[in-house]
Structure 1
Amino acid sequence: MSTITCIRTLRLPQRPKLIWLEIETDEGLTGLGETFRGAATVEAAIHELIAPGLIGRDSRQIEAISLELTTPYVGYHSASAEIRAASAVDIALWDLKGQRHGIPIHEALGGACRDRIRVYNTCAGYEFNTQQGARREITDADRAQGPYDDQLAFSRDAGALAISLVEEGYTAMKIWPFDQFARQAGANSISLADVRKGCEAFRQIREAVGDRIEIMCELHSLWDSAAALRICQALEAFDVYWVEDPLCKMDDAQALADLRRRTRVPICASETLGGSVAYRDLLNAGSLDYLMLDLVWCGGFTEARKIAALAQAYNKPLAPHDCTGPVALYAGLHLALHAPTAVLQEVVRASLSTWYGELVTHLPQIVDGVALAPTRPGLGTALRPETRRLAGAIIRETRN
């Protein structure tokens, strides 16, 4: 037996969208999980819905626990608070498994298909995705907070940013210059002038570094089909690697398939989905070229490896998402090393160079644009002990 004795959550006012979860067992091991968005809601789901049934359970029963937690009475087949909570639990259980056997999770999953994977830099700033509420747009008053304030950089001089990335060994980057023109959720129009303004960043990158870097365009699920089509067709001239989450409803398989048929740019979908059924439906409809998933939203490793198996069955490349937290990055990296069709792992160099390292004991090793396989048991990282002593830390425990 490896009996679960304590479930602990931690929230920090400095990172209000994030929540970390630790599962302790009677072996003296502690597994780490994480999820993102609605942290207080997820905390309630963990301690009120999940923890009472987990205390005293055998932590080795990962598949059985995953089945129970990813099929709640409400909230399934989505990235609901229930599924985000289940994701954090599942990641912690796999962390425990790896520690128990003295192997990294990519080995525990069945072994790695590669010992490194190419990364791309999502061009966010130091505080991107930190504060509650809507994503803040760049204004003329903004000033760079450091050398990696990359959202500010791509809005001012995307060519110079591309040069910086190439000099550091990156071969791919992601930007979102069209967000500023979405006047409301599900925006149904964009002017030709705004399309051209949005394309200017891609022109600057191609003029600065040519084909030495791949460019992804993130549309953040802001557009309806007509506006998304206009943007996608305009981007065809710049040979973008993919256009990500172009529609306001990324679970609409038919609308996404229709868009894909009408443009030459590859479609990437979607970090926003939870559970393998949603991905099965997109794949069946021919809705995507690249499959993106986020392990802290989709159900953790147990569900993610099933999604990866679907990607393999449909011969679609897979790319784990992380623009949220250090555990999400480690989890995505382990899956990307294991999954046969994985091609890229997302990173944010602004976060890696600052606050990720302030929270956890270790970070992935990234050299010349590739992330190397972690060698430590389990995830390969843990919360720093001082994290729980930070001012305003909210710690909640459920014990037997």
Structure 2
Amino acid sequence: MVISAIQVLDRRFDLPNGSGSDATHTNPQYAYAVCVLKTDTSLEGIGLAFTLGAGTELVCQAIQFLSEKLVGQEIEALMANFGTTYRSLVDSPSYRWLGPHKGVVHLALAAIVNACYDLWAKSRQVPLWKLLLDLSPEELVNTLDLSYLEDELTREQAIQLLTEQYKTRENRNSVLTTGYKGYDTSVGWFNFSDELIVEKTKQALDKGFTALKLKVGSDDPLRDLRRATLIRQTAGEAATIMLDANQKWNVPQALDICRRLGSINPYWIEEPTHPDDVFGHQAIARAIAPFKVATGEHIPNKVIFKNFLQAKAMDFCQVDAVRVGGISEFLTISLLAKKFNIPVLPHVGDMGQIHQHLVLFNHIGMGHENLFLEHIPHLRSYFVHPANIVEGYYQVPQEAGSSSDLKP
């Protein structure tokens, strides 16, 4: 199956009033820069990179530039040593200068890489999660680029880690029967009224969700505390409540407000300050313990994730396969997090479509803890095979590929 041409699409979707809003991104439009790998068959590989509308055209241009060398490649030969191809794409000399390994060019890489894995799974007529589980440790590591991680994770160590987990993976296959638990982010968008977050919380509980997330980061911290208390009172003490500041606070503000928000017993406080501030997150994590810090939605690459893990600056790793350099880098970071014994709970810029596959592999194939996956429903009607949630659980996808196909 040979890649014959590249098509790039700019897809943008308006949201209902208040949906998708947070303290930093107050009026978002959800969008994808889409890489389509055409082949000499009827199959196409679809890869997504997530944006908030404006600027998507820049990512699309970068996809066009970076993907040129894939034309003429046969998919099995390409993926057999994809780590080498990945490194050549990410280190294209001129385009590397525009990052390196972050921003518009790295988002473009995510779309390209995700399209390659999608086409690979479709060519083998299996869902992405099964494709990954069917690979041997060596074959999986061949798809990864471990450069700049050698001080913490060598190729040999990665293979050994996967081999050790292979021995016990049958003990974790039950997730394929139960599905993967979700948590609902859509109850607590920043621009929702107090009355609406209470109503949305009740609706989520009725749908079987027991874990919910509220956006915080208001100019008035008392607003955050009031709304967090409302959700806790509505959901009950047994519910799992996450709080997400979306980078709004500086470190002194975060230290003060996180302590006050501890009164509602949050499961984590997410992105409490600037996403590049390793030592700021470290200081916050140390100060608010035993409450935990989650971050990673806007961490752009494996090297910065390495630094966060080395500094013990995150308690939960929220790597996103449509933010970092696609599935390959997501799996690399998941291996690194496993080595540091930090759970991976992805941010779902793809609305959970690709990540429902990746968390299954992370749990079964890597031995990551089976916790839960974020659920955001706003784009599900645009997908050919939308993520299916029943009683608060992601159902295991059965269709070939990565569930990334969008309706025309």
State the TM-score, normalized to the length of structure 1: 0.79
Does the 8 A contact of 1:3 with 1:57 survive in 2? yes
1:198-235, CA deviations, whole angstroms, 9 ceiling, x for partnerless residues? Answer: 11112112222312321111111111100011111111
What secondary structure is seen at the aligned counterpart in 1 of 2:7? strand
What's the CA shift for 1:161? 2.8
Equivalent position amino acid for 1:276 in 2: K
What's the CA shift for 1:122? 1.0
Q: Which residue of 2 aligns with 1:66?
A: 86
What's the CA shift for 1:79? 3.5
In structure 2, C-alpha distance between the alignment counterparts of 1:124 and 1:234, rounded to whole Å? 22
Q: Which residue of 1 aligns with 2:355?
A: 332
Does the 8 A contact of 2:380 with 2:387 survive in 1? no
In structure 1, C-alpha distance between the alignment counterparts of 2:63 and 2:100, rounded to whole Å? 18
What's the CA shift for 1:96? 0.9
1:120 aligns with 2:144: no
Does the 8 A contact of 2:49 with 2:107 survive in 1? yes
1:233-266, CA deviations, whole angstroms, 9 ceiling, x for partnerless residues? Answer: 1111111011111112x22222211111111220
1:51 aligns with 2:70: no
- 1:356 corresponds to which of 358, 377, 380: 380
User: Which consecutive unaligned segments of at least 5 residues does structure 1 have?
Assistant: 129-136, 139-151, 182-193, 388-400
What's the CA shift for 1:174? 1.1
Does the 8 A contact of 1:119 with 1:347 survive in 2? yes
1:276-301, CA deviations, whole angstroms, 9 ceiling, x for partnerless residues? Answer: 11111100001010000111111111
Superposition RMSD in Å? 2.1
What secondary structure is seen at the aligned counterpart in 1 of 2:400? coil
1:73-129, CA deviations, whole angstroms, 9 ceiling, x for partnerless residues? Answer: 22445441111111111111111111111111111112585322111111269xx8x
Equivalent position amino acid for 1:346 in 2: E
In structure 2, C-alpha distance between the alignment counterparts of 1:76 and 1:58, rounded to whole Å? 29
Does the 8 A contact of 1:229 with 1:263 survive in 2? yes
Q: Which residue of 1 aligns with 2:396?
A: 373
What secondary structure is seen at the aligned counterpart in 1 of 2:279? helix
Equivalent position amino acid for 2:86 in 1: S
User: Which consecutive unaligned segments of at least 5 residues does structure 2 have?
Assistant: 15-28, 135-168
1:1-36, CA deviations, whole angstroms, 9 ceiling, x for partnerless residues? Answer: x32111111124545632222101224320111112
In structure 2, C-alpha distance between the alignment counterparts of 1:206 and 1:383, rounded to whole Å? 36
In structure 2, C-alpha distance between the alignment counterparts of 1:89 and 1:31, rounded to whole Å? 9
What secondary structure is seen at the aligned counterpart in 2 of 1:32? strand
Q: Which residue of 1 aligns with 2:8?
A: 9
Does the 8 A contact of 1:166 with 1:213 survive in 2? no
In structure 2, C-alpha distance between the alignment counterparts of 1:85 and 1:330, rounded to whole Å? 18
Larger relative contact order (Cα-Cα within 8 Å, sequence gap ≥ 6): 1
In structure 1, C-alpha distance between the alignment counterparts of 2:400 and 2:336, rounded to whole Å? 27
State the TM-score, normalized to the length of structure 2: 0.77
Aligned residues: 337
Tell me which moved more, 304-313 or 24-33.
Answer: 24-33
Equivalent position amino acid for 2:297 in 1: E
In structure 2, C-alpha distance between the alignment counterparts of 1:203 and 1:271, rounded to whole Å? 25
Does the 8 A contact of 1:251 with 1:282 survive in 2? no
What's the CA shift for 1:376? 1.1
Equivalent position amino acid for 2:284 in 1: L
- 2:207 corresponds to which of 142, 160, 168: 168
1:20-57, CA deviations, whole angstroms, 9 ceiling, x for partnerless residues? Answer: 2210122432011111223100111111x213222112
Does the 8 A contact of 2:282 with 2:312 survive in 1? yes
In structure 2, C-alpha distance between the alignment counterparts of 1:175 and 1:209, rounded to whole Å? 12
Q: Which residue of 2 aligns with 1:273?
A: 299
Equivalent position amino acid for 1:46 in 2: I
1:297 aligns with 2:320: no
Equivalent position amino acid for 1:356 in 2: R
Does the 8 A contact of 1:90 with 1:301 survive in 2? yes
Q: Which residue of 2 aligns with 1:33?
A: 47
Q: Which residue of 1 aligns with 2:374?
A: 346
In structure 2, C-alpha distance between the alignment counterparts of 1:70 and 1:238, rounded to whole Å? 43
User: Are residues 78 and 271 of structure 1, via their aligned partners in 2, closer, same or farther at CA, if it must alter by over 3 Å?
Assistant: farther
- Residue identity over aligned pairs, in percent, reads 23
User: Are residues 20 and 163 of structure 1, via their aligned partners in 2, closer, same or farther at CA, if it must alter by over 3 Å?
Assistant: same
What's the CA shift for 1:383? 2.3
